[in-house]
Amino acid sequence: MLLTVPPFPVKLVTRYNELKQEAPDCVLLMQVGAFMQVMNDDARAVSEITGLKLQMFGDADDPVVLGGFPKSGMDKYVGRLVRAGRSVAIAPPG
């Protein structure tokens, strides 16, 4: 299920996209505060595997699809992704 909400911070999207280029074959989890976030195709993949709820931000023609979970849930989510055959890259905060 996708919820549509206001524009998403461009800096965060840019950073995610830059990091994603370094690990294109992995699901990229990016730490944002106390949460781990995934965007776009990675968010869809994580949602499909784990049931994570997604939100859609910004322009309907070029939306940012976002999913996130508390950092305390890392073992649970990473475990599910790895068991499903996905490689996972974890980006530190910053």
* β-pair partners for 91: 30
Domain boundaries, the chain: 2-91
| 81 half-sphere exposure, CB direction, 13 A CA radius | 23
E-state strands within the chain? 2-5, 26-32, 35-39, 54-57, 64-70, 87-91
Q: What is the pLDDT of residues 62-74, one digit of tens each?
A: 788 999 999 999 9
Query: How far apart (Å, rounded) are the C-alpha atoms in residues 37 and 54?
Result: 10
* The CATH fold of domain 2-91: MutS, DNA mismatch repair protein, domain I (3.40.1170)
Per-residue pLDDT, averaged over 31-51, amounts to 96
Per-residue pLDDT, averaged over 33-55, amounts to 96
Neighbours of 87 (CB within 10 A): 11
